[in-house]
Amino acid sequence: MGSQTKIVVIKAKEIIYTGIFLVLGILFIVLLINMFGKSKGSDAKTTSKYVPGVYSSTISLGESTLNVAVTVDEDTVSGVSIENLNETVTTMYPLLEPALNEINNQISVVDSVDDITYSKENQYTYIILNQAIKNALEQADVTKQKK
């Protein structure tokens, strides 16, 4: 019978250390998969910036209150208009309509409302219109409507 019995001695510390390293290795692999793996659901949901539609914001000029209507597509602002605009307002604020026309000309070219340029002569008119557009775009924002 030529086989001899071999006795293997394993210390408890070696088993504990091996188990800890195995658990840490598995956690590290899971972390790498979560960080660098492609998530199919999140890419499809974040493609659009806005919910398409017409959103409005109000501005007060003297005694008059005007509605600034902003028309948006999924990714862009397609147009800005002022509702409740009467002759009294256009007489008192003659730069309002030219500023609005200039904003409409630039809105399709720029990426953000903040990128719209204006002259220093009528900067306050642009600032008022720009803030009203931003307020309306907050209503159209996809991330804010999901909450």
Q: How far apart are the C-alpha atoms of 42 and 143, rounded to whole Å? A: 12
- Same domain assignment for residues 73 and 126: yes
Task: Provide the pLDDT for residue 44.
Answer: 47
DSSP 84-133: S--HHHHHH-TTHHHHHHHHHHHHTT-SSGGG----GGGHHHHHHHHHHH
Quote the radius of gyration of the chain (alpha carbons, Å).
31
What residue has token string 């147009």? 79
- Same domain assignment for residues 107 and 142: yes
Q: Is residue 3 situated within a structural domain?
A: no
pLDDT by 10s per residue, the chain, length 147: 568 888 888 888 989 999 999 999 999 999 999 888 876 555 545 567 788 889 999 998 888 889 999 998 888 888 899 988 888 888 888 888 888 888 888 887 887 788 888 888 878 888 898 899 999 888 888 776 655
Task: Provide the pLDDT for residue 25.
Answer: 97
Containing structural domain, residue 27: 12-44
Contact (CB, 8 A) for 80 and 129: yes
